[in-house]
Structures are given as structure tokens and as C-alpha cells.
Structure 1
Amino acid sequence: MTIDFQAEFDKRKDEFMADLTSLLSINSERDDSQADDKHPFGPGPVKALEHFLAMAERDGYKTRNIDNYAGDFEYGQGDQVLGIFGHLDVVPAGSGWETDPYQPVVKDGRLYARGSSDDKGPTMACYYGLKIIKELGLPVSKKVRFIVGTDEESGWADMDYYFAHNGLKDPDFGFSPDAEFPIINGEKGNITEYLHFGGDNAGSVLLHSFTGGLRENMVPESATALISGQLNQGDLAEQLAQFTAQHGVTGQLEKQDDKYQVTIFGKSAHGSTPEEGINGATLLASFLTSFDFAASAKDYLTVAAGLHGDFTAEKLGLAYTDACMGALSMNAGVFRFDSQSADNTIALNFRYPKGTDEHVLKAGLEKLAGVEKVSLSEAHHTPHYVPMEDELVKTLLSVYEKQTGLKGHEVVIGGGTFGRLLKRGVAFGAMFPDSINTMHQANEFMALDDLYRSAAIYAEAIYELIK
């Protein structure tokens, strides 16, 4: 039987766009300020989950909502289970958008919205791939369990809860449509380590506060400091203008009573590729180190400034490269300093290959001058790898090559996906090698052609894995 999966998707294109647009219109950012027993990550993620499951019910699936942490449905029959893992939560929209991030807009063949590429767009493309198989009534010998989470962008507490409470045996193998083609069969370890500082000040200039970054897995697009002391507004404004011009960014200076609020605007990017962004926080610290701070304030700014551009932790003496999995990467993601607090932090998110670990990193960070202690995040993922010889990897690459005419090959990334939830789990699409990556950035988009052809690839891939 020969099936033109692209033609089958094209018949459903309008329906797909309507479903995707409605899902993208839901602000599903995590909001701990509104979290409760019924909304573990706030109301937005729950609303997106309920919307997705209602759509699946409409299409004839029997769905399950696992206490608003995650949801699933199954299709097919057989002893073996293929798991497909998507997620409905998104990172904070942040600033710098030219359109409303939760009012999807199509411009020049691109769909703009928060979540269009990470991960609502790919999740829906994969959903429609399975929908094609179901509606065509193709014969299958395995089950598919389609699982959607609501906390992938934070601590994966959704999947911790799902695997502990869903009551079914784990899928035997699977993939997550939350990365790139041709395949992601290796993922580096992922740990956040927190540098702790005191809050005392001395010197002729005082640091009252320093804030930057929204999430540990995002490059801070901006940072703001509140300072006072022996400063002249005109001189400060001129120095800031020269500094920002030198670094190709913008800044802002505002006087607040006897204090000055200084802001530098950089560019956000995914924390696994910090070199693609401009870290507003480390730049701001670099600017401030020229002033006469002292005590913990000086230690904080000196360490923060030293992190600028150190994407492989080479300046920290922690650089490491594995022949298979590549180099360690580091993102300085969240900065919080308040002179009234005795515990101020810098969050460093590491993506590390096999051959090093969180304890080696912690020991190195503890040697930094001015750092009082180092602590580790509860969320921690060790390096993950599925060999090229695995039948799952071979099948997915075969479908990719057939559909695109491009040669498949293995890829190891610093990003963490739900593919690592299973021993035989990988990430598969939906970004293509020539795609522009706007994940975690302002004006996030996904090209419509990429969404459409990924849906056809998912349809054939799922069928080849379960037929």
C-alpha cells in the first residue's frame, strides 16, 4: 500500500490551522503565584491541557487528565507501546514582540506566536500525523500513547507526577516532537548550579538591587540595577551610552530620588545555545564593575561580569569536551541581588556531556572568590544516548530521508527534551536543518511549510513504527 502522507495532510490543512491557532491563543506560561491543588503550575497550563484533551475527545479518543499535571490517550492494539511526548507549557513571552504573542499571526509564510515552534506547533503536527493514520484506518500492531505535559519548560514536575500516577506500564520506546530533524539521539546532562552571595555594601557607590533573567534556560534579554553614591547623572549617562554603543546594544538610565536605575537590553535565546543571545545581565555587570563598589556587592558584580561570553565555562576552568557528545555549555540565566537580603544568587545552567558531572562543576564553582556557597537544582538530567543501531533511530532516519531527500545523521544537543524520559527515547523534529531557530525568543515563529511537511513525516514515521 502506497500512501501519500503529504497529500493526506493537505486535505486537513485548514482544520489543522484552526486547531493550532486556538491552542496558541492560550497563555500557558507557568505562574506559581496562582498555583494550587487544582492548578499545579497555575491556570494557564491547565487551560491548555483541557483544550487539547477536548480536541482529542472530539476526534474519538478516550482521554485521561492526570490531575492537571499531564494528559494522554491511546490508539491501536498490541503488546508494545510507542510513546509520543509533547508539551503545552511555554516560556514567558518577555518583551520585544512586534505582535501579541498570544494572538497568532501569519506573515510571509510564518506563524508567529509563543509556542509556535516550542512546542505547540510540533505537538499539533504530530497529533495530525496520528490523526491521518486513524482516519485512514491503517492496520497497526502496536499501541500509540500520546502524552502531553505542562511543565517541560521548568522542572519537569509534570512528568515526574505522570509516571508516578498514570497507572500504566511505561512505553517501550518513543520520541518527542520538540527539537530538530534529522534526529536527536543524544542529549547532554542538564543541571542548574546556584552561586550564593551576601548583600552587604561598602565603597563610594552602593548596589541596592540587580535583577536579570526570567528562566534558567533562557539567556537574559535585559537586566536592571539600582545604584547610588558618588555619581554624576551626566557622566553616568555618557558612560552608559559609550558602553552600549561599543557592545551593539541599548541601555536606559532613570533617576529615582537619590538613586539611579540602569538597564541594558540584550537578546534572549535558548539556554542550550547561549552563544546565540546577548546576555543583558552579564553585560550590565561588566559596565558596573568600573565603579567603586565593595564587599558582597563588588563580589557579585565581579563574578557576574566574568561570566560574560564564557559559554563553555573555560574562564571558570570547567570546560570539558567528549568526543561523542561534544562540549559542555553554560548559560548564566537568572540574577537576583537585593542589599536587604543575606542570600543573593546567580543561576548557572550547565549542559554537560558524559565524562563530567554536577559534583565536578560544583567543586570548581566553590573556588570562585566571593562566592559564599554553591547549591544544586532539584531538577537534574544526566546525559542520555540511544545508539544509531537501534531500530527506533534507523526507522525515523529512514522516513526522514525518504520524505526530504536529505541524508540523516545523529545529533547530540545541549537542550533537554522529553525524549530522554525513555531509555529508548529520542527527539524527532520539527525544526529542519535550514530552519531559523526562534525558540525562547521574542517574535517566535515557525514556517508554515515546515509545520506542514513535519506533519507528513510524523504520519509516516508513526505508521512505520506501529504497522
Structure 2
Amino acid sequence: MRNFKKYIEKYETAFLNDLQSLIEIPSVRDLSTKEIGKPFGIEIARSFDVFETVAKRMGFEVTNFDGYAIHAVTSEDLPYIGVLAHLDVVEAEGNWNSNPFMMQTKDDVLYGRGVSDDKGPLLAALYAMYILKEQGLITKPIRLIAGGAEETTWECMEYYFKKNPQPEWGFSPDGNFPIVNGEKGILQVSCQFQGFSSIKVKSKKRLDYVCEEVEIEFPIHDLAKVKEYAKQANSLTYNIDRVNLIYRGDIVLSRNPQRGVNALNLFFEDFKDYSFNDEFQKLKEFYITYLLDDNVGRKLGIAYVDEDMGSTSMCPMSVTWNEEVKEVCIDVRYVKGVTMETILEKLHHISNDINIKIDIIKERRLLYVEEDSPLIQSLKQAYKNVMDEEAEVHTKGGASYARVLDRGIVFGATFGDYNTRVHMANENIPKKDLLLAMEIYCEALYLLSNQNDV
């Protein structure tokens, strides 16, 4: 087997310095600062500039596609091997133990927004390309394609592939090892109600998370009765004839609702037998009938288990209820055997019965690549060469750029059940894991670039 470790050790300090340069840019989408060539705002544009500086220093050809995407290539020739990653990050909310935009190292673990999702893995793949280039081990061209809107609209990849052909084979270093050959389809919808209501409901989070906190205010005539119902409330205050309740759950990503505690569930569990004398009663009945205590969509009639991809999941993300907006937002992740059209048909059937409106908030197509694919077989070999163990395939509920590839999957960069706290406070990744991922990427890109039958 090729010995890439010595080169990784040689470049470790430079790699960490470059990663720090990327982490210190708060590359969160900000359309208030957008301009020509910077469609997602100045900070994401700045991250493109740093990427370009690093890649050009390594001797790669670099092209910036009008601020939507940027690539570093060993050659513009075709066909090519593609690595798709992203430079944008989510906001750094929550209680961080350190500055999220100043990479910190504690007990050999790297902390900072983007160290795991996705600046660290992106840079590990870029350094793998560099090591192969320096050793003259690249036969077929390789492109690292970095987008600026993965955490939001994905229009970056749409823009890129209007101007560039698809890779022959590709992967996204934006998930887990060994191999993610399946990503569940995503459908997020808003279910909207009509009518007068004197009740106000406000959720702390809206999309992509289990509801962490919900505040409910409504008129009452019997405070003692409400106190009997509000057993799980974290706060109860009373003013004249209105009560204010706050429920707090345990936040997790909506793709894994079973791992957290949904604050909305706590409220509706407490008040499932309470009568609200206005339109809110219809929402309560809808929630209890179709959403409460169901993480797989059984009540909606969309539950399904696929032998390869596992089970569907369903998660209420938020309720907003005021004079202008009356809605509950739902996240569904579906597997082979279920289609987005089937789910929408079920939802519209329910909505027609109770006179609510369904709007799509976000949808992403399902990804699944058969295990006997030449791409997967090559990546299995690369993983085994480095790790000395077989690479199993599995399915995730998250969304990566692999979905935009005609022939691509997710490959790394985290290992096992380690919690990198993606999208949460104190995002992290062990340094050794990131360097090990770089070694695997060296081996994978070598095999993909040099095997004609891939």
C-alpha cells in the first residue's frame, strides 16, 4: 500500500493553519451584504478568497463561478473525478465554550464552527489532492468543487452544473465513514390554518430541528384547572385573565427526532384533553391525531421500512400561531418504497378533510447507490487499505451535495458514533480523525484516478 502518512505528517501544521484561516471567517449566508460576484454575502465570498489562496499556493488551477461555487482542479480535462464540499456554515447559536470562529484545540480535539461541517473535511480532501499531485500519482483529473449555499438553497450547485459537466464519479466528504450510499428523501411542509384565534404560540426554532422551546399564551377562567394540566411546563405565569406557558425540550436535528425531546409534544401531551374555544382547537386535534408521539409517520399513513435504507422519520419542527400566521411545520425523511408524491397525496387528503393548506418549504431528492457500484467498490478498497477493516454501507437522514451527483455518494469524514455536534454549539472533530480522513482520501482519490474500470 502507498505510504501517505509521512506526507500528511509533513503538512499537518500547514493544514491546521489553513483550517484556522477558514474557521475564522463567519461564512453564514447574509443577503443584506450581497453584491455582484457575492450572491450569498461578503463572508461567504471571503471564504472563497481564502480557499482560492490556499489552492493556488498548492499549484492548482482555480475558477470562481461568480461567487456561487469555486473549484480547484488538477486539470480541466474530461472525464474527471469530483469531490463536492461546501464553505458556508450555519449560525453559531447556543452556549459555546470558546469563540466559534477561532479554532481551538483541547485534548487534541478541534473546536469551531465548520471544523466538521464542512471546512475541515473539505480541506482534508484538498490536501489529499495536493499530496497526490506532488507525488505524481494522478492520472485522471480531479476537481474539488466547493459551494456557498449548501446550508440553505443549494443554488450554488445548480449554477455550477449548468456550466460544467457531471463528474464520472464523485463523493462528498460531508457525512460519516465508512460509506453513506443512501440519504433519505426530505420533505418539509407548512400546514396552515385559518380563522380567528385569541391564542398566541411561538417556537424558538423552525427548520431542521426538533422544537426546542415553545411559548403559549391563552385566555383562561380557571387558573387552578390550567395548573393541573400544565404538568410538564417549565414556566407558568398569569396576568389578569391570560396565562403564559413555556415548555422546553432537548434539541436535536429533525432527521433524528427520536434522539431528542420535542417541546411541542410536551405541551400537547399535557393539554390533549383541554378544550380551547377557538380555531386553535382544530390545530390541537390535528396535532394529537397525526403527529403526537410518532417519529415515523405512522399516524399520517407514510411509515415504511426499507431493507436497505431503514425507516421513514417524521418530526414536528414548530408551531407559529398569531394574527398573521397559523401553521405547524413538519419534517419528513423518506426511504425507497415511498415517494414525495405519495406523502403529499396523504397530506392533501388530510388537509381537504379539515380545510387546511399545505405548502412545501423544502424538498430534496432521495439518494441511493447500489453497493455493487464500481464507485463504492473502489471506496471500500480505499477504506480497507487504510483501516484494515471492511467498509460497510449505511443510510443517513441528512442531506449532502452527493444528491446533485448522477453517480456519487457520501464518504466521511467522521468515524463511528462520535458526536461532532454538527449545527450545534461546540462543533468539534478529533484532530486524529481529520488526519485519518485525509489519508483515506489520498487512497480513494488515487484509486479513482488510476483505475480505468471504475
| TM-score (normalised: structure 1) | 0.87
RMSD: 2.6
Does 1:179 find its partner at 2:179? Answer: no
Asked whether the 8 Å contact 2:199–2:218 carries over to 1, the reply is: yes
Letter in 2 for 1:191: L
Asked whether the 8 Å contact 1:196–1:371 carries over to 2, the reply is: no
Shift of 1:188: 2.1
Shift of 1:351: 1.5
Structure 1 residues 334 and 102: CA distance shift in structure 2, 3 A? farther
Letter in 1 for 2:183: E
2:302 pairs, out of 292, 304, 318, with: 318
Aligned partners of 2:107, 2:314: CA distance in 1, in Å? 35
**Equivalenced residues, count:** 447
Aligned partners of 1:280, 1:210: CA distance in 2, in Å? 11
Aligned partners of 1:106, 1:258: CA distance in 2, in Å? 53
Does 1:222 find its partner at 2:213? Answer: yes
Asked whether the 8 Å contact 1:268–1:442 carries over to 2, the reply is: no
Shift of 1:155: 2.6
Q: Which residue of 2 aligns with 1:197?
A: 193
Shift of 1:344: 2.5
Asked whether the 8 Å contact 1:212–1:281 carries over to 2, the reply is: no
* 395-404 or 192-201: bigger deviation: 192-201
Aligned partners of 2:425, 2:287: CA distance in 1, in Å? 24
1:410 pairs, out of 387, 393, 396, with: 393
Shift of 1:107: 2.1
Partner SS, residue 25 of structure 2: coil
* 167-176 or 307-316: bigger deviation: 307-316
Partner SS, residue 348 of structure 1: strand
Matches within 5 A, 1:28-427: 28-32=27-31, 34-35=33-34, 38-76=37-75, 79-136=78-135, 138-164=136-162, 167-198=163-194, 200-201=196-197, 206-215=198-207, 217-230=208-221, 232=223, 240=230, 242-244=231-233, 251-253=234-236, 260-287=243-270, 289=272, 291-304=274-287, 307-338=291-322, 340-341=323-324, 343-366=325-348, 367=350, 370=354, 372-377=356-361, 379-427=362-410
Aligned partners of 2:302, 2:320: CA distance in 1, in Å? 23
Letter in 2 for 1:179: G
Q: Which residue of 2 aligns with 1:248?
A: none
Structure 1 residues 272 and 208: CA distance shift in structure 2, 3 A? closer
Asked whether the 8 Å contact 1:226–1:261 carries over to 2, the reply is: yes
Aligned partners of 2:50, 2:241: CA distance in 1, in Å? 50
Structure 1 residues 358 and 46: CA distance shift in structure 2, 3 A? same
Shift of 1:32: 4.5
Shift of 1:34: 4.8
Structure 1 residues 190 and 12: CA distance shift in structure 2, 3 A? same
Partner SS, residue 19 of structure 2: helix
Structure 1 residues 45 and 226: CA distance shift in structure 2, 3 A? farther
Aligned partners of 2:340, 2:355: CA distance in 1, in Å? 17
Aligned partners of 1:189, 1:394: CA distance in 2, in Å? 24
Shift of 1:283: 2.9
Structure 1 residues 427 and 208: CA distance shift in structure 2, 3 A? same
Asked whether the 8 Å contact 1:322–1:355 carries over to 2, the reply is: yes
> C-alpha offsets along residues 87-139 of structure 1, whole Å, 9 cap, x if unaligned?
12222333233333223222223222222222122112112211211233x23
* 431-440 or 455-464: bigger deviation: 431-440
Structure 1 residues 76 and 64: CA distance shift in structure 2, 3 A? closer
Aligned partners of 2:384, 2:283: CA distance in 1, in Å? 50
Shift of 1:75: 0.7
Aligned partners of 2:46, 2:287: CA distance in 1, in Å? 38
Partner SS, residue 154 of structure 1: coil
Partner SS, residue 12 of structure 1: helix
* 222-231 or 45-54: bigger deviation: 222-231
| TM-score (normalised: structure 2) | 0.89
Aligned partners of 2:47, 2:183: CA distance in 1, in Å? 27
Aligned partners of 1:228, 1:30: CA distance in 2, in Å? 39
Structure 1 residues 118 and 106: CA distance shift in structure 2, 3 A? same
Letter in 2 for 1:380: E
Letter in 2 for 1:72: H
Structure 1 residues 45 and 334: CA distance shift in structure 2, 3 A? farther
Shift of 1:285: 4.3
Letter in 2 for 1:325: M
Partner SS, residue 120 of structure 2: helix
Partner SS, residue 99 of structure 2: coil
Partner SS, residue 332 of structure 2: strand
> C-alpha offsets along residues 226-274 of structure 1, whole Å, 9 cap, x if unaligned?
4344364x9867865x415xxxxxx345668975543333232233222
Aligned partners of 1:47, 1:253: CA distance in 2, in Å? 46
Structure 1 residues 31 and 269: CA distance shift in structure 2, 3 A? farther
Unaligned runs of 5+ in 1: 245-250
Identity, in percent, stands at 30
Structure 1 residues 304 and 131: CA distance shift in structure 2, 3 A? farther
Aligned partners of 2:137, 2:262: CA distance in 1, in Å? 51
Asked whether the 8 Å contact 1:219–1:333 carries over to 2, the reply is: yes
